[in-house]
Amino acid sequence: MGQGFKAYAVAMLVPIARLRRRLAPLTRLWSHARLRERITSPLDPSVVVLATPEIHGTGRLRLGRGLYLYPGLYFETQEEGTIEIGDEVVMSRGVHVVAFHGIRIGAGSMIGEYSSVRDANHRRDGDQALRWAGHESRPIEIGRQVWIGRGVTILPGVTIGDGAVIGANAVVTHDIPAGAVAVGVPARVVGAGS
């Protein structure tokens, strides 16, 4: 089985790669249709959906035009929560967005891989199990043309101004002004964008 099998396996990879490239447009169409059926507002045909996002809760998402949605996205809306994403936003692989109140992401913003945007935290209520104690939520506002690096966590009640840059792995606990560069845990402003 040694070299012969290895040569056969390598030879098979080329046709498989070609087939995947040919099927990519159909996969995108299928993913677009699946997303469209799971949300409560229309989905513009210009939205590129590389793989169907995971949708939980009420499906109250409003998605702008020209979005680029990578695989592995997770959207959840509970209670009165809504998620609004402006035009031309890029959401990289593995981004989680969870709204119990409301999250708005401005046009042209980019969110790096495995970032988390959550407008609610679990409440502690005496002896009641944390899972059932409910949530406290405050809206999150991310401005236009904001660049959020890989692995960033954005917590409830935060506003990030237009054109801000949030460095990789930062935890944003307070407002970040427009045009600022913020890094660290907790995130702090270290300068202005270029």
Q: Are strands 171-172 and 153-154 parallel, antiparallel or unpaired?
A: parallel
**Nearest one of 83, 102, 104, 100 to 135, comparing CA atoms:** 100
**Nearest one of 87, 66, 63 to 75, comparing CA atoms:** 63
Q: Which helix (H) or strand (E) holds 32?
A: helix 2-38
Name residue, tokens 């460095």. Answer: 167
SS3 55: strand
32 assigned to active site: no
Q: Which of the residues 56, 96, 101, 122 is marked catalytic?
A: 122
Q: Tokens in use for 162?
A: 């237009």
Which residues carry out catalysis? 122
